[in-house]
Amino acid sequence: MEIKDKNLEELETICSDIRNRIIDVVSRKGGHFSSTLGAVELTVAMHKVFDVKKDPFIYDVSHQCYPHKLINGRWDEFETIRQFGGLSGFTKPKESDADYFVAGHSSTSISLAVGAAKAIKLKGEDRIPVVMIGDGSMTAGMVYEALNELGDRKYPVVIILNDNEMSIAKPIGSISKYLSKILAGKFYQGFRDRVDRNIVQKLPSGATYIAKKIEESMKLITPGIIFEEMGVDYIGPIDGHDLEEVIETLEIAKGINKPVIVHARTVKGKGYKHAEGQQEHWHGVGPFNVEDGTFAKKASAKSATAVFADALLDLARKHENVVGVTAAMPSGTGIDKLMKEFPTRFWDVAIAEQHAVTSMAAMAKEGFKPFITIYSTFLQRGFDQIVHDVCLLGLPVVFAIDRAGIVGNDGETHQGAFDISYLRFLPNMILCAPRDDKTLEYSLEFAYEANKPCAIRYPRGAFANLPFEASKFELGKAELLKEGESNKLFIGYGAGVNRACETEKLHNDDIAILDLRFVKPLDEDTLKSLACRYNDWYIFSDSQKQGGVVSAILEFLNKEKICVDVTSFEYEDKFIEHGDTKKVEESLGLNPNQLVQKIK
């Protein structure tokens, strides 16, 4: 879609068309919704002022990238958004050259812009990185690490702060609003540059000091002082839905030739009244009725997340030393229930996984029992803190790892494939996984009593109902669910137990099934005993093969000089595409019918 030569009226029509296209497709297919609707005018203005063919367009997290995709040649293909084999819900360079970088985790954009700006300068090119970042992403420390260098190096970078939830610093009355408009105007920007170039630099030291103080006093009553103090120019706040104002402001920012933040106020869900404002459930949605904003009601089993939240709530009621934290995902992890009932014991620390881990390490040292509730993919961001601040001292912090395994439509950046691999080699760490609702409750009870770091993984969605009576968790103890007549043994870990059971039902042989429960420490006595009766072992786990469950078992077998044939049905050495979970599993050859054929 070519918009460079369009006038304002035509651009506003394009904005309306984009918004209608998003509403139409997402209402039928699902996807990220309110955040992307709120960024339509900002995106159109970016493409009007800058050249996406040469300027790096960098979207933070990229929940808001749908308008960008529509502008850049994916209008018809947009029907496939987040579907298996279709468009990603995030920016993805494999899809289009207009997508500068892959994004799915937050707060990386300004660092990317700094790196791009350095490369542009070294190559002597006329290009400028353009960032769109939401105010939520500004809670992560990585943003300020990047701003710290950017303010010092003064590389030309334009950062659009899409403020759709809260102000970075609340403006002080009408004077601040008026001055912010002045700061966004051509007169002020030109005046400041001329004063600095023609007057301040030539004045005696005393007069220079006074001139600088006058300018600084203006900054003190504007929201941008934090950025100005870091050496990054600030413009705003502006109305992010006033297309003319946004275009004019971006033109000013482009001409400054220094790092500048444009603070734009927007409304989530803009243009669709049911989603406008602070309504978290409209961030990512399934299909809905456009007319009244209602969602189709599904009869579904209780999710593992809900089971976890209720079980942790029971623990917190019994034990006053139980505390917990999440990193910007209170409803996603179920901890919102605990924050409501125990607001002084459970916290959302925003997008700050490193801080979440280290702060809970200190609470463990003080005698509390911290539960860090987090998605598998986001726990990666706190890895060094797990090593240095938790495991080194062996502190009894519990990592409740949600969304372990394939998570579906969010794809490569969100699949929970790696947590076993990156936690298993850490000294002092206990790794366990429940197979169903009851064993999830038992795993939390076990973790509360454990005197070392403990990680519990569980899947997105609901566990299967398995026909086995659950027993309490004991450290390093597996549970043999079923003896078998054949020489085959199915070893399941976590949700992998269900896949093992489904596969066994489809197989002609009577096969033994073991719920491993702990991948660290392993139940070596039970494994030794089973090696005497079963020669063919098959491993079922929703995790990466390298460093995963099969690696742990092979290491044990090698140590004990035990010879059995071992086959792993874990994930291969590649990133897993987005799409419906069942279709993704089929593409990996992991549905039970496929596994039966492999075994036979």
User: Would you state the pLDDT for residue 415?
Assistant: 96
Q: Is 369 an annotated catalytic residue?
A: no
Sole residue written with tokens 């050495």: 573
- 270 within 8 A of 39, measured Cβ to Cβ: no
Q: Given pLDDT bands bounded at 50, 70 and 90, which one contains residue 175?
A: very low
Helix (H, G, I), strand (E, B), or coil: what is residue 138? helix
Q: What is the pLDDT of residue 140?
A: 87
More confident residue, 213 or 269: 269
Length of the chain: 600
Question: What average pLDDT score do residues 570-580 get?
Answer: 95
**Where do the domains of the chain lie?**
8-170+223-285, 304-457, 479-599
Residue 458 pLDDT > 80, yes or no? yes
Q: Which of 381, 424, 488, 545 is catalytic?
A: 381
Q: What is the pLDDT of residue 520?
A: 98
* pLDDT score recorded for residue 279: 66
Average pLDDT for 278-288:
82
Q: pLDDT, tens digit, for every residue of 327-358? A: 999 999 999 999 999 999 999 999 999 999 99
User: What percent of the chain shows pLDDT beyond 90?
Assistant: 80
**304-457 homologous superfamily:** Thiamin diphosphate (ThDP)-binding fold, Pyr/PP domains (3.40.50.970)
How is residue 183 written in tokens? 């700061």
Block residue for tokens 């078998």: 484
Specify whether the CB–CB gap between 518 and 476 falls below 8 A.
yes
CA distance 441 to 439: 5
Contact 15, 44 (CB under 8 A): yes
Is the domain spanning 479-599 CATH 3.40.50.720? The answer is: no
Q: Which of 353, 479, 504, 585 is catalytic?
A: 353
Which amino acid is it at 306? A
Q: Does the domain spanning 8-170+223-285 belong to CATH 3.40.50.970?
A: yes
Q: Indicate whether 201 pLDDT > 50.
A: yes
Element (H, E) at 527: helix 524-531
pLDDT at 10 over 80: yes
pLDDT of residue 205: 55
pLDDT digits (tens, 9 = 90+) for 550-564: 999 999 999 999 999
Of the candidates 29, 268, 369, 545, the residue annotated as catalytic is: 268
Strands 130-134 and 57-59: parallel
Task: Establish whether domains 8-170+223-285 and 479-599 are of one fold.
Answer: yes
353 is known as an active-site residue: yes
Per-residue pLDDT reduced to its tens digit, 424-434: 999 999 999 99
Active site residue 127: no
Q: Please, are residues 535 and 512 in contact by the beta-carbon 8 Å criterion?
A: no
Average per-residue pLDDT for the chain? 90
Q: Give the lowest-confidence range in 197-211, 321-335, 344-358, 507-521.
A: 197-211
Helix (H, G, I), strand (E, B) or coil at 367: coil
Model pLDDT, residue 169 = 41
Query: What does pTM read for this prediction?
Result: 0.88
Share above pLDDT 70 across residues of the chain, in percent, rounded to a whole number = 90
Q: For residue range 361-410, list pLDDT tens digits in order.
A: 999 999 999 999 999 999 999 999 999 999 999 999 999 999 999 998 99
* pLDDT reading at 213 higher than 60: no
